[in-house]
Amino acid sequence: MRYAKVVVGLPVEGPFDYFIPPEFNQHIKVGGRVKVEFGHKKVPGYAVGLAAKTCIKNPKAILQVIDDAVLLDRRMLWLTKELSNYYCCSWGQAIETALPPALRTTKKIALNEKKSCDKKDGSCEIILLHDLDGNSRWDVYIQQLRQALDNNQTAILIFSETHSLPKAKAVIEKNLNITPAVLYRNTPGELKEWLSIKEGRTNIVLGLRSAIFAPLSNLGLIIIDQEDDPVYKQDQVPHYHVREIAMVRAKKEKAKLILGSSHPSLESYYLAKAGRIKYTLLPRKRLLPQIKLVSTGSEYAARKKKEVILSPYLLDALRSVLDNKAKTLLFLNRRGFASRAVCRHCNKIFKCPRCSINLVYHFNQAELSCHYCNFKMPAPAICPDCNSDYIRYLGTGAERLESEIARLFPQAKIKRVDNITDLKDSQADVFIATSLITKATDLNFDLIGVLSVDEALNYIDFRAPEKAFRNLSGLLGMSEKTMVIQTRLAGHHCFQALLNKDSDFFYKEELRQRRQLSFPPYSHLAYVILRGRKEARVKDVSQTLFARLNSECPKGIKILSLNPAQPQKLRGNFYWRILISGRSTKNITRFLKISLKGYSHSGIIVTVDIDPI
Ligand SMILES: [Zn+2]
Ligand SMILES: [Zn+2]
């Protein structure tokens, strides 16, 4: 073979043909790294094939063969190619997503290659494990892991939170008497751990999202815990979702895939109800709290649009719980003291200079900060526009709630939870938390007060009810006594499902609405995102591209809309989005890869997000 087919980790399709100098002929391997000149830069590339002929005139020569060993075996090459076909990125970008960052270089590594021997029959099985209580599924995990080990197979367990990893490791060590490898991206030990997995020295791998690419052979089992967690979708290009990659990998490698959750994603629930994956329900054993919906609608009107923080009903409930020396959780999904600072004289709202976002007031630091880009400034005493000192802070955040409770109940010990670790051994009467608390386990409160979820429900996002339901279901498991929810939308099916303790009701109603609107899971969506520093230019280029995609759009794909993103400005960049829908993501990706090929406007960056969440 005289030519190598090479891909690089840039947003350019390939593979590109390179000439193999004779001295490298013995060393080059498909699935290994090579150093090549691309454009005018020397970059690491990945050999994905070899050929005797090329139709390129005078191809460049490979500069160096980095690995004697195969970093990406046949299956991993296939998986990364699938990723690039599904998520509209180049094969090289997909490969770099799958490899530890330390391998995306031209640095040599020592790898004792092991011949992998996959002798597996049977077929893939995908199971949605719906764990209503949220603490029964570990028994199933252990039993399934044991079975995989008994069959000399390997397993991957994926978690959404770093704090779950040490706990999971301890449970596995105790029950199975085996030490799992922990793959954790961008840590000093990552490459060593990756190599030890590649060399076959470990059977079980624990990790976060990127562990789905663990180079295990003879894979028998993949478990994704809390499969509905949005962190499983990567927020950078390629915007892959770990569940999708796990399904593709499990099918190819004939492994079992378990999707565990106490409140499954609508996508998985839909697949289960349609009979396309299996469904196992772990029934409820513990008691659920009494739920009381308090409508804040009329009070809201009576107070002339002044926000109701604590309704009289919730105040009474809180008082009696405090009298009994019992524990309360108040849920308010807003950090800071006030959600906006306003000059009452000229109506100026203080916004982040880099983002189109209101700055949040933090009382203790006496500063305004942007929760998107971390911009901070001292809280102003005088309005810069009109020199008035009539600046007010509106919209209750967790900090203001804390001071309000302290004022009303001076004896109560209050703890604001800004971090999951804040919960450890903390003694308090009243805990104040944002949605972060739903990631904690083994909590038990006598009273849970949900102060505001309406904002979440009103948000212009068809996934908003699902997100609100996930938060509320998470809270539901944290009390066996009382839960009080303040809302102006008491009739919403999200609350009705909670009141009736019937999550199926929520899923069915939500699916009915999504079907009517042809939203996922009944279709696939994609965003083409354009960003740049100059607002007018981003808008112009977006409009031209929108028109062009419309004119080229094939059957089965619809170009739905062009809009500024929400928020429109982030970290100094302006964002516009073209929304596309289609029956199959691969068709959307094929269309976009052709349409966007060579598409370039200076100062504008175009990216694609398939199945946005
Ligand atoms: Zn002013
Ligand atoms: Zn900002």
Residues 321-336 pLDDT 10s? 999 999 999 999 888 8
Q: Alpha carbon 231 to chain centroid distance?
A: 2
Average of pLDDT values for 433-448?
88
pLDDT band for position 298 (cuts 50, 70, 90): low
Residue type, 270: Y
Residues 580-592 pLDDT 10s? 999 999 999 999 9
User: Pairing relation of β-strands 41-51 and 360-362?
Assistant: unpaired
Instruction: Inform me whether the pLDDT recorded for 187 exceeds 70.
Output: yes
Phi, then psi, of 267 in degrees rounded to 5: -60, -50
Single out the residue of 520, 522, 518, 455 nearest to residue 492, CA to CA: 455
d(CA 354, CA 570): 6
* DSSP secondary structure code for residue 67 in this structure: -
What ligand has the least distance to the C-alpha of 352? 2
Residue 576 Cα to ligand 2 midpoint, Å, equals 17
Instruction: Inform me whether the pLDDT recorded for 515 exceeds 90.
Output: yes
Single out the residue of 266, 288, 335 nearest to residue 475, CA to CA: 288
Residue 336 Cα to ligand 2 midpoint, Å, equals 15
d(CA 539, CA 339): 29
Residues, Cβ < 5 Å to ion ligand 2: 352, 354-355, 370, 372-373, 375
d(CA 478, CA 50): 58
Average of pLDDT values for 588-598?
94
Residue 474 Cα to ligand 2 midpoint, Å, equals 30
Instruction: Inform me whether the pLDDT recorded for 459 exceeds 70.
Output: no
Single out the residue of 604, 588, 534, 556 nearest to residue 239, CA to CA: 588
Name the percent of the chain lying above pLDDT 90. 77
Residue 106 Cα to ligand 2 midpoint, Å, equals 36
Instruction: Inform me whether the pLDDT recorded for 301 exceeds 70.
Output: no
Question: DSSP string spanning 475-520?
Answer: HHTTEEEEEEEEES-TTSHHHHHHHTT-HHHHHHHHHHHHHHHT-T
The dihedral sign for the CA sequence 392, 395, 400, 401? positive
Residue 566 Cα to ligand 1 midpoint, Å, equals 26
Cα Dmax for the chain:
85
Residue 574 Cα to ligand 1 midpoint, Å, equals 26
What ligand has the least distance to the C-alpha of 371? 2
Beta bridge partners of 575: 531
Rg (CA), the chain: 27
Residue 45 Cα to ligand 2 midpoint, Å, equals 36
Residue 357 Cα to ligand 1 midpoint, Å, equals 18
- Quick one: pLDDT at residue 306? 61
Average of pLDDT values for 604-610?
96
Residue 382 Cα to ligand 1 midpoint, Å, equals 8
Residue 371 Cα to ligand 2 midpoint, Å, equals 7
Residue 597 Cα to ligand 2 midpoint, Å, equals 32
List Cα–Cα distances, 496 to 229, 490, 504, 506, 516, in angstroms.
23, 8, 11, 8, 20
User: Pairing relation of β-strands 376-378 and 367-369?
Assistant: antiparallel
Beta bridge partners of 338: 361, 396
Residues 115-166 pLDDT 10s? 666 666 778 999 999 998 888 899 999 999 999 999 999 999 999 999 899 9
Average of pLDDT values for 259-288?
95
d(CA 36, CA 62): 5
Average of pLDDT values for 415-435?
84
What ligand has the least distance to the C-alpha of 350? 1
What ligand has the least distance to the C-alpha of 376? 2
- Quick one: pLDDT at residue 538? 97
What ligand has the least distance to the C-alpha of 342? 1
Instruction: Inform me whether the pLDDT recorded for 243 exceeds 70.
Output: yes
The pTM of the full predicted model, rounded to 2 decimals, is 0.93
What ligand has the least distance to the C-alpha of 343? 1
- Quick one: pLDDT at residue 235? 92
SS3 per residue for 341-398: EEECCCCCECECCCCCCECEEECCCCEEECCCCCCEEECCCCCCCCCCCCEEEEEECH
What ligand has the least distance to the C-alpha of 357? 2
Residue 339 Cα to ligand 2 midpoint, Å, equals 14
- Quick one: pLDDT at residue 308? 64
What ligand has the least distance to the C-alpha of 384? 1
Residue 382 Cα to ligand 2 midpoint, Å, equals 21
Residue 388 Cα to ligand 1 midpoint, Å, equals 6
Tokens 């305004």, located at residue: 368
As given in the structure block, the two tokens for residue 321 are: 């719980």
Residue 606 Cα to ligand 2 midpoint, Å, equals 21
Residue 186 Cα to ligand 2 midpoint, Å, equals 25
pLDDT band for position 67 (cuts 50, 70, 90): confident
> Which is more confident, 554 or 459?
554
Average of pLDDT values for 182-200?
93
Phi, then psi, of 194 in degrees rounded to 5: -60, -45
pLDDT band for position 74 (cuts 50, 70, 90): very high
Q: What angle do CA 207, 208, 209 make, to 5 degrees?
A: 125
Single out the residue of 338, 329, 354, 600 nearest to residue 479, CA to CA: 329
d(CA 527, CA 546): 11
- Quick one: pLDDT at residue 23? 93
- Pair 496, 556: CB distance under 8 Å: no
pLDDT band for position 228 (cuts 50, 70, 90): very high
pLDDT band for position 443 (cuts 50, 70, 90): confident
- Quick one: pLDDT at residue 304? 54
Instruction: Inform me whether the pLDDT recorded for 522 exceeds 90.
Output: yes
Residue type, 347: N
As given in the structure block, the two tokens for residue 360 are: 């949040």
What ligand has the least distance to the C-alpha of 353? 2
Most confident of 61-75, 247-261, 455-469: 247-261
- Quick one: pLDDT at residue 135? 82
- Quick one: pLDDT at residue 461? 82
Question: DSSP string spanning 134-183?
Answer: SSSHHHHHHHHHHHHHHTT-EEEEE-S-TTHHHHHHHHHHHHH----EEE
What ligand has the least distance to the C-alpha of 389? 1
Residue 390 Cα to ligand 2 midpoint, Å, equals 24
List Cα–Cα distances, 48 to 81, 402, 512, in angstroms.
10, 58, 45
What ligand has the least distance to the C-alpha of 356? 2
Instruction: Inform me whether the pLDDT recorded for 113 exceeds 90.
Output: no
Residue 459 Cα to ligand 1 midpoint, Å, equals 29
Residue 374 Cα to ligand 2 midpoint, Å, equals 6
Contacts 24+ apart (CB under 8 A), 280-283: 280/127, 280/128, 280/129, 280/130, 280/140, 281/130, 281/132, 282/129, 282/130, 282/131, 282/132, 282/133, 282/136, 282/137, 282/140, 283/132
Instruction: Inform me whether the pLDDT recorded for 300 exceeds 70.
Output: no
Name the percent of the chain lying above pLDDT 70. 96
As given in the structure block, the two tokens for residue 197 are: 């997995």
Residue 529 Cα to ligand 2 midpoint, Å, equals 19
Residues 362-403 pLDDT 10s? 998 999 999 999 999 999 999 999 999 999 998 889 999 999
> Which is more confident, 299 or 411?
411
Residue 337 Cα to ligand 1 midpoint, Å, equals 21
Residue 341 Cα to ligand 2 midpoint, Å, equals 15
Helix (H) or strand (E) holding 96: helix 91-98
d(CA 518, CA 507): 16
